[in-house]
Structure formats: C-alpha cells, structure tokens
Amino acid sequence: MTLIILLAIASGMALSAQAAINGQLGAKVGVIESSLLTFSMGTVITGLLIFFFEPSYDSTLLTVPKWQLAGALFGILYMIVMVAAVPKVGVAIATVATILGQMMMSLVIDTQGWLGNAPIELNYWRIAAMVCIGCALVCIYLANGQTQSVLETSAATENIINPTKEPQHVS
C-alpha cells in the first residue's frame, strides 16, 4: 500500500514536470501540436509495453462496455487545458486547480459508488482534505498576485530611473 502511494506521488510529480514542459512547448508550437506529440509518444511507448509486458485478459477494448472507453476523452481534455493554462497561470495554480477538481469529483464518485466503484462514506477528514486543497489554491493564487505586483512595480521603477531604456514587458 505504501509503495503504491509513493508511486502515485511520483506520478504526480511527473505530471507537474510534464505540464511545465508542455506549457512551454505549447506556447511555441501550439496547444494542439504539443498535445499531439504527447499522445503520439504515449501511443508508441504504450504499444511497446503492451507487446512486451502486458498479460492477456478475458476482455479486449472491443468487448468491454463502451462507456468505459470514455475515460480516454478526459485525458485529452486534461492535456489540452493544462498546455493552455500553464503559460498563463503557472504550473502550481494549474496543478492545484486540477487536484481540487479531482478531489471534488473523486469524493462524489466514492460517496455515490459511481462507475462501478465501491461506496466509501464521506466523513470530516475527507471534507477537511478538500478544504485544505481549496485553501492551497487560494494561497498560491494570492502569492502569484503579490509576485506579479512586485514585478510590475520593479519594471515601472526601472522605467522612471532610466527612461531611455526599452520598457520591459511583464506577463
């Protein structure tokens, strides 16, 4: 159990790095092209993993209930939104906002036992966890606003002190 949690944390760290990298790439070549690269690489690597390591199962992608294939669409939505959001709001806000959304939906799925999952009772600890994530998002948002104000003030001061210098653009 501890190993799986550590692996989940590591995969979350990888997602943040991926968001930062893809955000920069998307700003240079376009959101859709950056997403296409990610999914193309993912297809090739996953295909190789299936070919060499995947055991056989009774069901195939053609025989499972079709609603279960919809999960792939959510991955596309996530990728495109993150590639577009990271250059505008930063990795931390985009990631924590995603985690808050995941937490909200996961609590509904767990509590209601949706999508074939066993119901898990909603309790104060789970609600407190979601509130903490919401607070984290607010704190990071406010911190980013203060940083932006400092950068804008610094750029304005530099222009007053040295008016012949080209103005710096702070985004």
Question: What pLDDT, in 10s, does the model give residues 143-164?
Answer: 988 766 655 666 665 666 665 5
Cα–Cα distance between 66 and 54 in angstroms, integer? 21
Name the token pair of 112: 């209601």
Cα–Cα distance between 114 and 68 in angstroms, integer? 12
Render 74-108 in DSSP notation, one character per residue.
HHHHHHHHHHHHHHHH-HHHHHHHHHHHHHHHHHH
Residue 132: count of CB within 10 angstroms of its CB: 12
Detail the DSSP E strand segments found in the chain.
none
Q: What mean pLDDT is reported for the chain?
A: 87
Question: What pLDDT, in 10s, does the model give residues 129-138?
Answer: 999 999 999 9
**Residue the block writes with tokens 């103005």:** 167
Name the token pair of 126: 């789970």
Say what the pLDDT of residue 162 is: 61
